[in-house]
Amino acid sequence: MMKMTLKFKFLCIFLLVQLFNPLFALSKEEGVNASAADTGQSVLIPFNSELGLARLINASAKVDFPALANQFEAQSNRAFCGPTTAAIILNAVYGRNQSLPRDTSRIKPEDSKNLNPGFDLTVPRFTQETVILKGRKTRAQVLGEPVLINGNLVRDGGYQLREFDEMLRANQLKTSLRIVSDQTSINDIRQEFIKNLKMSGDYLVVNYRREDVGQKGGAHISPVGAYDEASDSILIMDVNPATQGWVWMPLSVIVKGMKTFDKIENRGFVLIEGL
């Protein structure tokens, strides 16, 4: 009888811990956010932390996350954050479709020597290489071949936001481009983010400067997986995990990172509509 009573007490304690654990996490998060507000410093919460995972559970807008996580891949080189983000989004939008492009660039002639005649090793999906082919900016230009900007030949590796948007549209996506300036209302950005991240099949991509959000590196493009109202932050699914992991970033911080100049105009974000 005593053993049964002791087991029952342990069971009750376990259930209470599970019941109130989200509240403990929320209190802890509020404490972190308050500290950040007091010091004026930005707080980037790693997704793979206890707090980061709890934030996703409690997030108010996260319908995009499963599809993006399922199609996620890391960029193959330092200039391909744009093509990688595009490939992830396109594969999330079009799913398992046999008519998708088949990329043979990673398969060598000798790879097929032991296969049955006619057997195709490729799989139907968008890749970092194939998405570039439809856009105006060439692979060579993405990798640093000089281009003409304002009458001058300059190296402009990677993608400016407008070039990235053009590449998405060339791959048959319907997009809305937003350049962020000093006149852009943070509340307007918040509302557009929330609406997009609550709509299944719609996707959101941000273009920002790493130094202005407290990270090492330069310009970057990545998809957004969720918005958490309690912390007013977004989950950036960074496509360069060799440099930075996925992080929860305060909205005010990402706005600061987007409100930076990139050769012709400021950076910003792209809203992608579902099919």
**pLDDT value at position 85?**
98
The pLDDT assigned to 28 comes to 38
pLDDT in tens, 116-157: 988 988 999 999 999 999 999 999 999 999 988 888 888 989
Compute the distance between CA of residue 114 and CA of residue 231 in angstroms, rounded to an integer: 55
pLDDT, position 196: 98
Angle in degrees, CA 174, 178, 179, rounded to 5 = 145
Q: Which residues contact 153 (CB under 8 A, 6 or more apart)?
A: 146, 147
What is each CA distance from 121 to 76, 95, 111, 226, in whole angstroms? 20, 19, 9, 35
Give the global pTM.
Answer: 0.83
Q: Which segments in the chain show pLDDT lower than 50?
A: 1-41
Q: Residue 151: what pLDDT? A: 80
207 by DSSP, 3-state: which?
strand
Query: Token pair of 230, please?
Result: 């309690």
Alpha helix stretches (DSSP H) within 40-177: 50-58, 65-71, 81-94, 130-134, 139-142, 161-170
pLDDT at 97 (0 to 100): 87
User: What pLDDT was estimated at residue 22?
Assistant: 40
Task: Provide the mean pLDDT of the chain.
Answer: 86
- The C-alpha atoms of residue 139 and residue 157 are separated, in whole angstroms, by 9
